[in-house]
Structure 1
Amino acid sequence: MTLPRSDGPLFIVINAGSGARHASEIQPKIAALLGAADRAHRFLPAHGGGVVAAARQAVALAREQQGVVVAAGGDGTINAVAQAVIGAGLPFAVLPQGTFNYFGRTHGIPQETEAAVRALLSAELRPVQAGLVNDRLFLVNASLGLYPTLLEDREAYKRQLGRSRPVALLAGLVTLLRERRQLDLCIELEGETVCLRTPTLFVGNNRLQLDQIGIAEAPALEAGRLVAIMLRPIRGLSMLGLLLRGALGRLGEAETVTSFCLRQLTVRTPRQRRIKVAADGEVFHLRSPLQFRVAPQPLLLMVPRPDQRVEPA
């Protein structure tokens, strides 16, 4: 495929609520580095739901001026901006500002703002795979059941205690001990349909995340597939045992865990017309059936040159 130019002006969607530092602190640092490099740029600040509107504006400007759309924020912000960019065939760049930053880390993008900006200035375009659940994009993962509930609880704890990994882990422990609900799903894969009960269905599109928790199918992402994970109905202390396995990189070894590769997966919820879904940390409702699939076109990502790449950790 012919790649577009990547040396045009930068249109930066910056989320004022991502990460530990406020946008008012981050934006001047980015501007100073870009100014020193004589790189044309424009900031489009966004708050909460305003990210979608800012992303659309950035795409329109980048089309007009042969520019690059940049997302400065966490995985949720990156998802919202990528959703607007992928259909436009424009270059896309990331300046990570969130808590976990799985997408940026997977592609070797530095986590420190100054280093990320410097890497962006000489970055190279690379097509990367995206996933879809119905018409919603996901770059890291999409899920239903327990995981969306965990994310909602995590956000509630972060509002009270601050945005940090320890707070996120605390929220996860509380959710695992408390949650009792199970999902009744009918899953169609490669022409076969199976109906089952599970606390969660998780579909991953991020090699780093899947490797860290110990899912053997993680390399299948490099072959144009997604990876699904399901649990047998378990509760309480058994859930904590799975959490520990995941922390040790051994989740895939558990007898109560099933994982498999897919290009397309259809999920029906016989008891629910609409179901809560999480994609890259954002929770919303979609109408059943759900169709998980690899997006037909890649995201054109600006990735650091080898000498500026940070190894995923």
Structure 2
Amino acid sequence: MGATDLAGHAARQDTTAGGPPLFIVANAGSGQHDLRQTRETLSRVFGEAGREFHFVDTDGPGSVVTVAQAGARYAREAGGVVVSVGGDGTTNAVAQAAWDAGCTMAVLPQGTFNLFGREHGIAQDLETAARALLRARAEPVQVGEVNGRIFLVNASLGLYPQLLQDREAFKRRFGRHRWVAILSGLVTLFEWRRQLALEIELDGQSTLLTTPTLFVGNNRLQLERIGMESAVAERVGEGRLAALIAKPIGTGTMVWLMLKGAFGRLGEAEQVHSFAFRTLTVRVLGMRKLKVAADGEVGVMAPPLRFTVASRPLQLMLPREEDLVPVE
């Protein structure tokens, strides 16, 4: 079959096998993977299987959202699946587009952490995950939402978004290395002095508090790894999100808490309060706008912020039982 242009973004590969067509959004900026090699691998796997597939290409990180929206639109019109090939940020963009369009999505992890894919038993090896996708089934999965923005893994405000933003700035300057991420984190911790004055409303009751950061999780794997209390983490994914709020603390204590989280013992720290919830409304006193991170992508929102389990689930292609990969 010949190549066909899809809205100027992609080349089409047509086949005759059954199964919904796949519209692939591959982010060249995710992790350290070569886009050409990624395309070659997926073309071989899907071509050998006789599956219809389309590449909806990005021109760089800035175009991921636009191209994800195009891929989701094509998938909805064709009764197909929009496929995210990238890290958690790319997956978030595709999930938002798929959720808005009401179409099914799939994930082929290619980033650094890939927490969403790992939690759902999706292989981290591209070819293995692609072969599992050919046999996968669509299942509903819970997603979080903050002021209309979908998140799969976490959302946050205060110190954590600043850590993410500074880390990306350091990586652009010094390269994508682990030591660069550690250095940027230490610099941010020692420079951060701001405490947020919040009014949080939970179950009809309002509480005033001061904190350097508020973290909301929708990924049980991440929460378990940092050591959040099991009674809280185990409710995530069952109609609940989890919140983590740090008490007002100095730089030294914040570094100590970060180390606690790295070693999976954050739940032991008395300086941290955590709880599960369905809906949490947050008003930020004295601020009209602030930075909010969702799955590693930082944006600006106007309070009040309403964190909630999304009104409907995301339809996600999940591996069959024999293709599930144990959590590492």
Normalising by the smaller structure, the TM-score range is over 0.9
Find the aligned partners of 2:77 and 2:42 in 1 and give their Cα distance: 23
Supply the AA of the counterpart residue of 1:229: L
Question: Offset of 1:221 from its aligned partner?
Answer: 0.9
Tell me which of 299, 302, 309 is aligned to 1:287: 302
Q: 1:270 offset after TM fit, Å?
A: 1.8
Q: Is 1:254 matched up with 2:269?
A: yes
Q: Are positions 1:14 and 2:26 aligned together?
A: yes
2:57 is matched with: 45
Which AA in structure 2 matches 1:72? V
Is 1:278 the counterpart of 2:290 in the alignment?
A: no
Q: Give the Å deviation of 1:55.
A: 1.4
Q: Which runs of 5+ in 2 are unaligned?
A: 1-17
Which 10-residue stretch deviates more, 28-37 or 294-303? Answer: 28-37
For residues 161-218 of structure 1, give each alpha carbon's deviation from its aligned partner in whole angstroms, at most 9, with x where no partner exists.
3334443333223322321111111111111111111000000000110000011111
Partner of 1:33: 45
Secondary structure of 1:276's aligned partner: strand
Aligned to 1:227: 242
Q: Specify the alignment match of 2:252 in structure 1.
A: 237
1:202-254 CA distances to partner (integer Å, 9 max, x unpaired)? Answer: 00000110000011111111321000000011122211111111112110110
Q: After TM superposition, where is structure 1 displaced by more than 3 Å over at least 4 residues in a row?
A: 164-167
Indicate if the aligned counterparts of 1:100 and 1:165 stay in contact, CA closer than 8 A. Answer: no
Query: Number of residue pairs matched?
Result: 308
Query: For residue 63 of structure 1, what is the amino acid of its counterpart?
Result: R
Superposition CA RMSD, Å: 1.4
- TM-score in terms of structure 1 length: 0.95
Q: Which residue of 2 aligns with 1:3?
A: none
Are the structure 2 counterparts of residues 293 and 19 from structure 1 closer, same or farther at C-alpha, using a change threshold of 3 Å? same
> Counterparts in 2 of 1:147-296, with a 5 A limit?
147-216=160-229, 217-296=232-311
Q: Which has the higher contact order (CA 8 A, sep 6+)?
A: 1
Q: Distance in 2 between matches of 1:159 and 1:281?
A: 16
SS in 2 for 1:222: coil
> Pick from 127, 131, 148: which aligns with 1:118?
131
Q: Which amino acid aligns with 2:166?
A: D
Q: Deviations over 1:252-311 (max 9, x none)?
A: 110100001110000011211111100000000011100000001101111111221111
In the alignment, which residue of structure 2 is the partner of 1:143?
156
What runs of 5+ residues in structure 1 fail to find an aligned partner? 1-5
Q: Distance in 2 between matches of 1:137 and 1:27?
A: 28
What is the identity percentage for the equivalent residue pairs of Structure 1 and Structure 2? 56
Question: 1:119–1:166: structure 2 CA closer, same or farther, 3 Å change rule?
Answer: farther
One-letter amino acid of the counterpart of residue 131, structure 2: R
The yes-or-no answer on 1:80 pairing with 2:93 is yes
TM-score by length of 2: 0.91
SS in 2 for 1:105: helix
Q: Is the CA contact (8 Å cut-off) linking 2:73 and 2:101 kept in structure 1?
A: no
Kindly indicate whether the alpha-carbon contact (under 8 Å) linking 2:244 and 2:275 is maintained by their aligned counterparts in 1: yes
**Gap change, CA 1:152 and 1:91, over 3 Å in 2:** same
Q: How far 1:66 moved relative to its partner?
A: 1.1
In structure 2, distance between residues paired with 1:120 and 1:292: 31
